[in-house]
Amino acid sequence: MKRRSFLTFAAVLAGALPAFSRFKGARYKARRAGRTQSTDDRTAAAEVLEFQVTADEPFPVRALDPVLHVGEYEVRDYRYGNMENTLLIFTCTESSKLEENAPVWLQYENDTRTRTDLPAFRRAQVE
Amino acid sequence: MRLPLPARLLPAAIALACCVSAQISDPAAPGPMPVANTFYRFNRVQVPAIPYPVDIWGTVWHPDGMAGGPYPLLIFIHGNHGICREPGTMRDFGTTLTPPYCPSNFEQTPNHLGYDYIAARLAGYGFVVVSINANAINVRANGNPERGRLVQEHLRYWALWNSSEGGFPFGRRFTGRVNLQNVGLMGHSRGGEGVRAAYNFNRQEGSQFGIRAVLEIGPVDFGRIPTITTPNPIFNVDDVNFSVLLPACDGDVADNQGMRIYDRARVLRENQLLSPKSQIYLLGANHNFFNAEWLPEDPNFQCIDFPIITDRPQQEQIGMVYTMGFFRTYIGGEDFRYLFHGDGRPPQSIRVPVAQSYTESPNDILLVDDFSVVKSPDENLAGGSNTSNNLEIKTCSGTTCNEPPPAGWVHDASTFAAKIGWPGQGTGTPNLIMRLAQEGMSRDVSRFALLGIRVAAQFDPRNPNTPASQNFSVRLIDSAGVVSNSIAVGELRPIPYPTGAFFRRSVLRTIRIPLADFRGADRARIAAVEFVFDKNREGAIFLTDVHFSPR
């Protein structure tokens, strides 16, 4: 009986709330967003990249953080870009560590259910 | 592979898990005192060690009139969640504004009001309960150290309101009425790690406030990356009464990473407050329903083999029973320890199976083996040998405990266990003899009251199809060779089977056996504990934390 009531409940809510799974329609664009300040003569200013990740449904606010993976590199600094929460903006201050053609995916920490694969990273496409 | 738990057997699982010993009192009944509530709010305050302004905003439940006292202070803090609500709905969103406030067509989500159902009841037992709003820390990465700093700041405000001068907005209403040396903290989700941080910051700074109990519900454990073997001490809980509630159907913190907190705490030596630690694994419970302001975390989510709770009052009852039982015991001085050590049956209002892990202060127990010594499993922590017959046994920790997919092991990397399967390659009844000292020596365990173990079934076809029905025996052997009667472990408490959210995981539970139940062997001269795998022809379990406990 409980199983049935859960399914009914889930069906009612499914249209209204984001589910923790892959995000439909997810895509991104990368753009240059300035340079970091150099702290001394030996440290060169680095290029800052912003990744704007968009989906057709909201990215939920939850206990686990969304992380943008660019190959081995994890971009963890993020903010919401609209009040519908369909846009996440990740800021990378170590863009030199990003490898050309690295696979890109979004995932909430270690919750692999949410892994959403995106096109590979290509510097030529950075706006 | 044969599944250990066909869904059709759920009723049997519930019956087995629920009803093994006598009914005891329910701590969540309404208290004897009339209660009142109020609130305070200061916007955009600069708080030490938080690099952005935050609101000092809390709702307060307290005994009406505040006569008598001083009353213990409890502080609750919620976790990460949307902070902007569409008016007239419970749909919450992250914001685009920095610092994080809401546009004019939204209202602020009252995340802190979601625990009123617990706070109001606790106030009726003579607690001042403050639930603080942490919206300014939400909707950004991590923030748990900042949550800890926010809790500290609220405590400083309460020191002001408790002082002879009092302070705005309460004047002298709380002057001398709050006991800041008997403080308890509760954090839900990221708030869990937040209160752990608050506790540790407070003691690093000289323990101005007497934080004596920390309770976490579905917490994260960001400070401990599972592959790193040296934990961050900011996120440990030694020298304080501690419990963690783990919703087994947690659709957010889906790996129940909060179990790592108990795993670490169970072996930390204590210098100030020798205090018990516990973990409450709640089948069916979800992440969000502990906060009455939160909708289900994931409506498409289902737990393996066990129905997720969809009835909010049912889960709120769980929240009340364990939160109230915890603070009434470890702050209020009453005795609801049965909820935490699991020797008794939960109150009737808890309608899901519960599996506890529990230890008295690590200083107070005799830990015979947790399979952490270099020569394990051949030698144990007590200095004796482990010998086995017709048994597969090897020591594991972290990824080496991992079961075949889709099962996993999510205990802390510091937790070791024996991975045991039977029968082995030999003949005869499989057994494991764990000597308490070198050959020919014994130990006096007469000052202890209980023998405890932590155990869980593996995800393995050798286990019976009927859920939670694995079983084996344990007995004591004294130095004269006298063997006690055998106690069937699985008949005392069910041995948990691998279930959970998203993937199967074996979650260890503590089972404690009164030493008085072992007849015959001389408790002043115990030479060995013997595990006999005589109840089922085959099986596969994890076993660890074999110990003697004084209570």
CB-closest option in B96, B296, B307 to A83:
B96
Checking if the pLDDT of A16 tops 50, the result is no
Cross-chain residue pair B141–A78, CB shorter than 8 Å: yes
Q: Which of A61, A74, A76, A115 is most worth mutating to test chain B (most B CB atoms within 10 A of its CB)? A: A61
CB-closest option in A19, A62, A80 to B252:
A62
The pLDDT value recorded for residue A38 is: 64
Q: What does the pLDDT average to over B489-501?
A: 92
Q: What does the pLDDT average to over B101-126?
A: 97
Residues of chain A with C-beta less than 8 angstroms from the C-beta of B104: none
What are the CB-based long-range contacts (under 8 Å, 24+) for A80-85? Answer: A80/B93, A80/B94, A80/B95, A80/B96, A80/B139, A81/A52, A81/B96, A82/B96, A83/B84, A83/B93, A83/B95, A83/B96, A83/B103, A83/B106, A84/A58, A84/B93, A85/A58, A85/A59, A85/A60, A85/A61, A85/B82, A85/B93, A85/B94
The pLDDT value recorded for residue B487 is: 98
Q: What does the pLDDT average to over A58-86?
A: 96
Q: What does the pLDDT average to over B121-138?
A: 98
Q: What is the pLDDT of residues B373-407, one digit of tens each?
A: 999 999 999 999 999 999 999 999 988 998 777 78
CB-closest option in B218, B299, B307 to A13:
B299
Q: Which of B297, B302, B399, B502 is most worth mutating to test chain A (most A CB atoms within 10 A of its CB)? A: B297
Q: Are strands B392-397 and B500-501 parallel, antiparallel or unpaired?
A: unpaired
Q: What is the pLDDT of residues B284-307, one digit of tens each?
A: 999 999 999 999 887 777 888 889
Per the prediction, chain A carries an average pLDDT of 83
Q: How confident is the model at residue B231 (pLDDT cuts 50, 70, 90)?
A: low
Cross-chain residue pair A19–B298, CB shorter than 8 Å: yes
Q: Identify any residues that bridge with B475 across adjacent strands, giving them in sequence order.
A: B530
Checking if the pLDDT of B344 tops 90, the result is no
Q: Which of B77, B222, B224, B298 is most worth mutating to test chain A (most A CB atoms within 10 A of its CB)? A: B298
Per the prediction, chain B carries an average pLDDT of 92
Cross-chain residue pair B93–A58, CB shorter than 8 Å: yes
Q: State the ipTM, two decimals.
A: 0.89
How many whole angstroms separate alpha carbon A110 and alpha carbon B250? Answer: 14
Burial grade of B166 (CB within 10 A; 0-12, 13-18, 19 or more): middle
Checking if the pLDDT of A1 tops 70, the result is no
Q: How far is CA B267 from the centre of its chain?
A: 15
Q: Which of B77, B137, B221, B252 is most worth mutating to test chain A (most A CB atoms within 10 A of its CB)? A: B252
Q: What is the pLDDT of residues B236-283, one digit of tens each?
A: 999 999 999 999 999 999 999 999 999 999 999 999 999 999 999 999
Q: What is the pLDDT of residues B2-42, one digit of tens each?
A: 333 434 334 334 433 443 344 468 999 999 999 999 999 99
Q: What does the pLDDT average to over A25-52?
A: 83
Task: Report which DSSP code applies to B195.
Answer: H
Q: How confident is the model at residue A9 (pLDDT cuts 50, 70, 90)?
A: very low
Q: How confident is the model at residue B331 (pLDDT cuts 50, 70, 90)?
A: very high
Cβ(A6)–Cβ(A22) under 8 Å? no
Those residues whose C-beta lies under 8 Å from the C-beta of residue A43, and which sit 6 or more positions away, are none
**Residue ranges of A 39-98 with Cβ closer than 8 A to chain B:** 58, 60-65, 76-85
Q: Identify any residues that bridge with B358 across adjacent strands, giving them in sequence order.
A: B278
Q: How confident is the model at residue B234 (pLDDT cuts 50, 70, 90)?
A: confident
Checking if the pLDDT of B109 tops 50, the result is yes
What is the total count of domains within chain A? 1
Burial grade of A93 (CB within 10 A; 0-12, 13-18, 19 or more): middle
Residues of chain B with C-beta less than 8 angstroms from the C-beta of A62: 80-81, 252, 297
| Structural domain for A26, as ranges | 2-125
Percentage, residues of chain B above pLDDT 90: 85
Q: How confident is the model at residue A76 (pLDDT cuts 50, 70, 90)?
A: very high
Domain annotation for chain B: domains and CATH numbers: 35-359 (3.40.50.1820), 366-549 (2.60.120.430)
Cross-chain residue pair A19–B299, CB shorter than 8 Å: yes
Those residues whose C-beta lies under 8 Å from the C-beta of residue B146, and which sit 6 or more positions away, are B49, B50, B51, B54, B137, B194
Q: What is the pLDDT of residues B142-200, one digit of tens each?
A: 999 999 999 999 999 999 999 999 999 999 999 999 999 999 999 999 999 999 999 99
Q: What does the pLDDT average to over B479-507?
A: 94
Q: What does the pLDDT average to over B440-458?
A: 97
The pLDDT value recorded for residue B24 is: 61
List the helix and strand counts (H, then E) for chain A.
1, 8
Best CA proximity match to B462, nearest among B472, B454, B453: B472
Cross-chain residue pair A20–B141, CB shorter than 8 Å: no
Q: How confident is the model at residue A12 (pLDDT cuts 50, 70, 90)?
A: very low
Residues of chain B with C-beta less than 8 angstroms from the C-beta of A65: 141-142
Checking if the pLDDT of B101 tops 60, the result is yes
The pLDDT value recorded for residue B405 is: 73
The pLDDT value recorded for residue B98 is: 79
Residue of B nearest to A77 (CA): B141
Q: What does the pLDDT average to over B337-366?
A: 95
Judged by DSSP in three states, B350 sits in: coil
The pLDDT value recorded for residue B300 is: 75
Q: What is the pLDDT of residues B42-65, one digit of tens each?
A: 999 999 999 999 999 999 999 999
Checking if the pLDDT of B536 tops 90, the result is yes
Cross-chain residue pair A63–B252, CB shorter than 8 Å: yes
The pLDDT value recorded for residue B3 is: 37
Q: Which of A7-21, B134-148, B523-537 has the lowest mean pLDDT?
A: A7-21
Checking if the pLDDT of B232 tops 90, the result is no
Percentage, residues of chain B above pLDDT 70: 94
Cross-chain residue pair B141–A76, CB shorter than 8 Å: yes
Does B117 lie at the interface with A, CB-CB under 8 angstroms? no
